[in-house]
Each structure stands twice: as structure tokens, then as C-alpha cells.
Amino acid sequence: SKVTGFRVSHSNRKTKRVWKPNIHKVKIMFKGAPRRLNVCSRCLKSGKVERAL
């Protein structure tokens, strides 16, 4: 999901901006079977998703 906020200039003017997740298409183990899914890099680093080899 996307997160919204403001881009703030030096003079403190604000314009809308969006932060997007860092998504990778990865082959993972899902219920014992390998599957190709879109996974964020934060989930890969934290170990929430087990990569299939």
C-alpha cells in the first residue's frame, strides 16, 4: 500500500507526495509449494517470507 504525505521545501511550502513500497517479484515457499509473488524488500529482510531455492 502507498503512504501519502508532503514534500516540504526550504521555505516550508508543502506539496503532496507518495511513498511506494519497494516491491520485488520473488519465488517463495507458500503452504509447502513454490510460488511467484510480489514481496516488499522489508518483508524479505525481516524474514517474514521464506525464499524458495
The answer, yes or no, to whether residue 34 has pLDDT greater than 90, is yes
Listed residue (23, 22, 31, 30) closest to 51, CA to CA = 30
Residue pointed to by grid coordinates 509447502: 32
The answer, yes or no, to whether residue 30 has pLDDT greater than 90, is no
Q: How far apart are CA 18 and CA 4, in angstroms?
A: 5
pLDDT value of position 38: 95
**What domains lie within the chain, and their CATH numbers?**
21-53 (2.30.170.40)
- Cα diameter, the chain: 54
pTM of the model: 0.62
Mean pLDDT in residue range 4-12 = 98
Mean pLDDT in residue range 28-50 = 92
Q: How far apart are CA 45 and CA 31, in angstroms?
A: 20
Three cell numbers, residue 5 = 504525505
Q: Confirm if 17 and 9 have CB atoms less than 8 A apart.
A: no
